[in-house]
Structure 1
Amino acid sequence: MKTAIASEIVSAAALHLDVLDGFIAVVQGKLAATDDAFLRDSLTDLLANLTEQRDTYLAFAPMMSAAA
């Protein structure tokens, strides 16, 4: 039971990491496409938050590699 739960958590973390990577790419593209100072500031804050979340999921990376 413990292994199945751990496996589900690792699978969810891998999926969340993939989604975050995609969202980060979208935000980076929008950031590169605008010169508006307010939008750049807002997108930069969002990017920092997403990157922080990504770093949290990377803690599961060794388990993701082992599960692959």
Structure 2
Amino acid sequence: MYQDSKRVRTKATVYLDQYESDVITALANYLGVPKAEVMRQMLMKEARDVLGVDPAGLTDSLAERAG
């Protein structure tokens, strides 16, 4: 059914307090997209930043700095 079975999305639970949930809801409403999409994009951006991955070139900027 899927060309790449590793691209099938799985469910993950995130517990937010009311203030955090309101921020996500407001941003989703502002952008006109589902809350899950907002959270997924925020999560992946943070992961790329922490890991030092350059999304434009998909290069590891930490390795470049070390070398």
TM-score w.r.t. the length of structure 2 is: 0.33
Task: Report the structure, 1 or 2, having the larger helix content.
Answer: 1
Task: Report the structure, 1 or 2, having the larger strand content.
Answer: 2
TM-score w.r.t. the length of structure 1 is: 0.32
